[in-house]
Amino acid sequence: MSQPRLSIPQYAMALAHVASLRSEDPYRKVGAAALDHDNRVIATAYNGLAPGFDPSPDFWKDREGRQKFMLHAEINLCSLFRRGDAKLIATTTMPCTACMQTLCAYGIKEIYYQEIYHASDAPEIAALYGVTLQQVTDFPMSDYLIPEE
Ligand SMILES: O=c1ccn([C@H]2C[C@H](O)[C@@H](COP(=O)(O)OP(=O)(O)OP(=O)(O)O)O2)c(=O)[nH]1
């Protein structure tokens, strides 16, 4: 009997969600995954502080203060491959404007996200550069996500 098979965007999104579970940010956990031109996984990443940096326990108390220090999941992801290597990426949160620009600089042509991110110009940037930017909400694990407040 044939089993239902995940689409490639669903597969990438599930991987992105697993990566998000490693985020140290108590307020927003973002995960991302990159696949190459053969749909092989080349990287997973999540948002966090710079590698090796160990903050004091008080650091996380300042929700707004933390923001400028956070390395976004998509930037951490792009640090793991060279321009042109990734065909598509999935990210649990729509890329912010700066992340979207970076993904374009890396030549990524397909971007899948699950949750809409406030104040992002990603849709406009994607439209101008002819990049696919699509929401994916139905993937393994989507039943287990905690609904937003
Ligand atoms: O494209 C994005 C956008 C955000 N983040 C991460 C960075 C940070 O760890 C967290 C929050 O993002 P931001 O600093 O932009 O704050 P916010 O979403 O406006 O506020 P908050 O999370 O405090 O509600 O999400 C990413 O990894 N990628």
- Digit-coded pLDDT (tens) for 61-113: 999 999 999 999 999 999 999 999 999 999 999 999 999 999 999 999 999 99
Q: Which of 47, 68, 101 to mutate for ligand 1's pocket (most ligand atoms within 8 Å of CB)? A: 47
Confirm whether 145 is domain-assigned.
no
Specify if 81 maps to a domain.
Answer: yes
Domain assignment present for residue 149? The answer is: no
Expressed as residue numbers, the domain containing 79 is 8-135
pLDDT for 148 equals 62
**Number of folded domains in the chain?**
1
In a domain, residue 148? The reply is no
137 CA distance to ligand 1 middle (Å): 19
pTM for the structure as a whole: 0.94
Mean pLDDT of the chain: 95
Q: Is residue 140 part of a domain?
A: no
Nearest-atom number in ligand 1 for the CA of 71 is: 7
pLDDT at position 12 over 90: yes
52 part of a folded domain = yes
Parallel, antiparallel, or unpaired: how do β-strands 31-35 and 110-115 relate?
unpaired
Please tell me the distance from the alpha carbon of residue 149 to that of residue 72, in angstroms, as a whole number.
22
Max alpha carbon distance in the chain (Å)?
A: 55
DSSP 53-86: ----GGGGG-HHHHGGGPBPHHHHHHTTS-TTS-
The confidence score (pLDDT) of residue 149 equals 57
Residue 86 burial (CB count, 10 A): 24
The span from the CA of 32 to the CA of 108, in Å, is 13
Distance 131 CA to ligand 1 centre (A): 22
**Residue 145 binned pLDDT confidence (cut-offs 50, 70, 90):** confident
Please identify which residue in the block is written with the tokens 């490693």: 22
Q: 147 in a domain, yes or no?
A: no
CATH number of the domain residue 84 falls in = 3.40.140.10
Report the pLDDT averaged over residues 107-131: 97
